Amino acid sequence: MTIRRRGLMLAAAAILAGGGARAQGLQNRPVRIIVPFPAGGAVDAIARMITNPLAEALGQSVVVETRPGAGATIGAAAVATAPPDGHTILFTSAALASAPAVMAQLSFDPIRDFAPLSLLGDVPLVLTASPQGSINDVAGLLAAARARPGAITFATPGNGTPIHLAMELLAREAGIQLLHVPYRGTPVPDLLAGRVDLHLDSANAAVARGRQGQVKLLGISTPQRLASLPDLPAIAETVPGYNATTWFAFFAPARVPAPILAKLSDALINVTSRPAIREGLAALGVEVQATGPEALGRLLRSDIERWGTIARAVGARLD
């Protein structure tokens, strides 16, 4: 073999090797974070908070794109069918886990069609009561519901929503009957006016209204009290085992190569673990966890089973 021929072969091998290395990494174009909720909302705000730090961690630009609708499934479907190259990421909520149970037709499978990247954290919920009513704590709620089965009302943003399922879970675990009043949008004005009895709300919003005397704070949905709200009892103190929060997490399309998944996951965990980001998220009511793909995968599977059981029991469907 001549020196010239050997040089050509080595050059060809180097080109092939270089192409393979590039194929396993992100390309020189933006990474899109698709948010399946409206622009300007809390989920969109969270995504935009991490955009610049994530771009620095990845070494390339990151953009946020909102695709709301159909119970957060339109945006999820767009990611499920996106090219598996790591340039499209889904940032969504626990609605991904309840979707199979509450939607008659779903174009994707949350387990089969997504690769978990990182759990960002969750938003605790607070059970609130109308200031016009006589319910002052969870024990009082249970007593009233047992005295008048089906007479105590709880309002939600709609049938089959995570809030609806979380309230049905509470009723099931407490052994009581409550009357569901679904709204298209927020039921808070009617709660304040005393037209409905109960509403499960995000901790930030509920605590702000509680401090103004607009609602009564009955309990928080986490297994234990939060260090930031030590005087607010956990619902689980009265209904043992109750746990219902709204989590937020990142997913990639299935079949993204493992090296790219690892790069994305590591970058997301790094960014969401930074003190400044954690403080910003805490201001939005997010309890940051920043766990990796394995823990997120287990959470998704367990919640699909849990919310599926509740939805089937009460016949919950998204409107």
**pLDDT bracket for residue 317 (50, 70, 90):** confident
User: Distances in Å between the alpha carbon of 130 and those of 46, 140, 152, 158, 215?
Assistant: 30, 13, 11, 19, 5
pLDDT for the residue numbered 290: 85
More confident residue, 139 or 245: 139
Across residues 121-139, what is the average pLDDT?
Answer: 94
**pLDDT bracket for residue 12 (50, 70, 90):** very low
> Structure pTM?
0.85
Q: In a 10 Å sphere around its CB, with 0-12 CB exposed, 13-18 middle and 19+ buried, how is residue 266 labelled?
A: middle
pLDDT for the residue numbered 285: 86
pLDDT for the residue numbered 33: 97
Return the domain boundaries, the chain.
29-122+246-314, 124-237
Q: Which residue type sits at 198?
A: L
Q: Which residue type sits at 133?
A: G
**pLDDT bracket for residue 61 (50, 70, 90):** very high
Q: How many angstroms separate the CA atoms of 313 and 307, rounded?
A: 10
Across residues 57-68, what is the average pLDDT?
Answer: 94
Across residues 191-208, what is the average pLDDT?
Answer: 94
> Cα Rg for the chain, rounded, in angstroms?
23
CATH no. for 124-237: 3.40.190.10
Q: What angle do CA 198, 199, 205 make, to 5 degrees?
A: 135
User: Distances in Å between the alpha carbon of 51 and those of 56, 268, 273?
Assistant: 9, 10, 14
The topology under which CATH files domain 29-122+246-314 is D-Maltodextrin-Binding Protein; domain 2 (3.40.190)
Q: Do domains 29-122+246-314 and 124-237 have the same CATH topology?
A: yes
